[in-house]
Chains A and B, each alone.
Chain A
Amino acid sequence: MTSERRAAGRDLPGSLIAAAFILIGALCWWDTTDMSDPDSYVFPRMVIVLMIAFSLLLILRNLLLGGGRHHLSTAGSWPRRVGLVAAMLLGALAMPLVGFLPSGIAVFLAIMLLAMYDPWTGFRRVVFPLVGFAIVVGFFVLFSEVLRVPLPLGSLFE
């Protein structure tokens, strides 16, 4: 998937995304049939109709005129991208179990490894994790003590 600026051909991904939006619209319309109060469904239905209409227009335009000169480059490392998202998602899901602090530290260190492009010198090996630890603990204290945000402590330890 290295879609550099394609020739002015068909904007296939654009059309597919538009089709997905049509599907989402249809699904939401089906959900509105459950609502009895017009106050609840009038506005969403109006929006759904517009969204499906615009999506159809986009597909039609792509078919007739071609389109799609505006795809951004996706150069760079895919494993690191996926890793970042996975680390954050896993961290968020783990928070209620192991607590905010351990999970936050783990996420921080994982992303640090993913974002490291310079060699791990001895200095960095020691200082970076320590600074990271300090940042996470600092924010934890700021939020939980100063701002009184009840950060999860983890159900595994209760």
Chain B
Amino acid sequence: MRAFASLAGVALAALSLGLAAPAAAQSYPDKPVNYIIPFGPGGESDITARHQQAFYPDMFGQDLVIEYKPGGGGAVGWSQLNDYKGDGYTWMGVNLPHIVVQPMQKDVGFKTDDLTIVYMFHYTPDAIVVHKDSEFQTLQDLVDYAKANPGRVTLSGSGKATSNHIAQVLFDGMAGIKTTYVPFKGTGAAVTALLGKQVAAEWGYTSVGASHRDQVRMLAVAMDERHPLFPDVPTFKELGFELASGAYRGIAVPKSTPEELRQQISDMIGQINHDPEFRKRLENDGMAMLDVGYAEMGAFMAKMTETYHGVAKEAGIAE
């Protein structure tokens, strides 16, 4: 056993050496940052992060390393965020409405206020998408059909208690119709069901319209103004429905991260987000850009939380 003791000693020594160098804020970042995506690879959150990853090294001279911590629709990652060291080298992606609605429903190991969000960089607006062969040419066609045949319009969407689902409930209320929401395990599966004509339409995102341009048609987008990529697609507001919603993405850091570092990270993400080439790429993917920095985050989150609380209750998603 003596051999073991000495081996362990060597290992411990080696380890403590590696940990000895403290992080200095002045030179931040002086090593790669770990950017945790609380979902699996290949999803929209991952692809967004990959875009950021491509721009990061040129701007800050270090690497941005993307890692995945999937599980529980993001809850596994978010419930562990504050266990990480707040040295600026751990970032985690956050998504709305997930981080507001999940803790409302059940105990998922974190509360919305536990998350220190430093930047919200874009959102993917909700949209009603139909197959290019669909009989529904306009939103009105769909509403008329749904009025005549309550419940018979099936819409695929990404899961329940998501932006898609909330939009469906809200829109049904506004239009005075009854449609059937068919939850799938993600946007990819929901699109596949639409393309295969398993459902009549999809509650998807503008990104669906962007990546499947040749195969689908969008009837309306839930934005304040038309999306630059789709000048011909009306907004719900133009058509008389007060609906502007979508899935928001941002970055949070562990609670122990010092104030000045939070601000610095917020500025860094903002710098990427303001790069014209970066903006163009994301808009081409169907995203709508957004710039909410650390300073304005409190007000932004308060507003969003209030909205979602009302909506989720109305939609019967949470008490």
22 A-B Cβ contacts within 8 A? A99-B15, A101-B14, A101-B15, A102-B11, A102-B15, A105-B8, A109-B4, A125-B3, A129-B4, A133-B7, A133-B11, A137-B11, A148-B65, A148-B67, A150-B34, A150-B67, A153-B18, A154-B15, A157-B15, A157-B19, A158-B19, A158-B85
Q: Tell me, rounded to whole Å, the shortest Cβ–Cβ distance linking A72 to chain B.
A: 34
Q: Is the CB of A129 within 8 A of B7?
A: yes
Which residues of the other chain, A, contact B67 by a CB distance below 8 angstroms? 148-150
- How many residues of A are counted as interface, with CB atoms below 8 angstroms from the partner's CB atoms? 20
Residue-wise, chain B 51-75 has the 8 Å CB interface mask toward A (1 for contact) of: 0000000000000010100000000
Q: Is the interface of B mostly helix, strand, loop or mixed?
A: helix
Contact of B19 among A137, A149, A153 (CB under 8 A): A153
Return the chain A residue nearest B183 by Cβ: A39
B26 at the interface (CB under 8 A from A): no
For the complex, give the distance between the alpha carbons of A137 and B19 in Å. 17
B304 at the interface (CB under 8 A from A): no
Return the chain B residue nearest A154 by Cβ: B15
Return the chain A residue nearest B34 by Cβ: A150
Return the chain B residue nearest A137 by Cβ: B11
A37 at the interface (CB under 8 A from B): yes
Q: Is the CB of B3 within 8 A of A153?
A: no
B160 at the interface (CB under 8 A from A): yes
Other than the known A109-B7, A149-B67, A153-B18, what 9 A-B pairs have Cβ atoms closer than 8 Å? A102-B11, A102-B15, A105-B7, A105-B8, A129-B3, A150-B34, A154-B15, A157-B16, A157-B19
Which residues of the other chain, B, contact A84 by a CB distance below 8 angstroms? none
Q: Tell me, rounded to whole Å, the shortest Cβ–Cβ distance linking B13 to chain A.
A: 10
Which residues of the other chain, B, contact A133 by a CB distance below 8 angstroms? 7, 11
Residue-wise, chain A 128-158 has the 8 Å CB interface mask toward B (1 for contact) of: 0100010001000000000011100110011
B12 at the interface (CB under 8 A from A): yes
User: How large, as a class, is the contact surface on chain B?
Assistant: 10 to 19
For the complex, give the distance between the alpha carbons of A153 and B16 in Å. 9
A92 at the interface (CB under 8 A from B): no
Q: Is the interface of A mostly helix, strand, loop or mixed?
A: helix
For the complex, give the distance between the alpha carbons of A140 and B16 in Å. 16
Which of A99, A137, A158: most chain B CB closer than 10 A?
Answer: A99
Residue-wise, chain B 1-35 has the 8 Å CB interface mask toward A (1 for contact) of: 00110011001101110110000000000000010
Which residues of the other chain, B, contact A158 by a CB distance below 8 angstroms? 19, 85
> CB within 8 Å of B: which of A80-110?
99, 101-102, 105-106, 109
For the complex, give the distance between the alpha carbons of A99 and B8 in Å. 12
Which residues of the other chain, A, contact B11 by a CB distance below 8 angstroms? 101-102, 105, 133, 137
Return the chain A residue nearest B6 by Cβ: A129
For the complex, give the distance between the alpha carbons of A18 and B183 in Å. 35
For the complex, give the distance between the alpha carbons of A23 and B277 in Å. 60
Which of B3, B4, B34, B65: most chain A CB closer than 10 A?
Answer: B4
The 7 tightest CB contacts between A and B, nearest first, are A109-B4, A129-B3, A102-B11, A148-B65, A101-B11, A133-B7, A105-B11
For the complex, give the distance between the alpha carbons of A157 and B34 in Å. 20
Which residues of the other chain, B, contact A149 by a CB distance below 8 angstroms? 67
For the complex, give the distance between the alpha carbons of A158 and B85 in Å. 9
For the complex, give the distance between the alpha carbons of A105 and B12 in Å. 11
For the complex, give the distance between the alpha carbons of A125 and B7 in Å. 13
For the complex, give the distance between the alpha carbons of A39 and B160 in Å. 10
Residue-wise, chain A 17-49 has the 8 Å CB interface mask toward B (1 for contact) of: 000000000000000000001010000000000
Q: Is the CB of A106 within 8 A of B34?
A: no
Residue-wise, chain A 42-83 has the 8 Å CB interface mask toward B (1 for contact) of: 000000000000000000000000000000000000000000
Q: Is the CB of B85 within 8 A of A106?
A: no
Which residues of the other chain, B, contact A150 by a CB distance below 8 angstroms? 34, 67
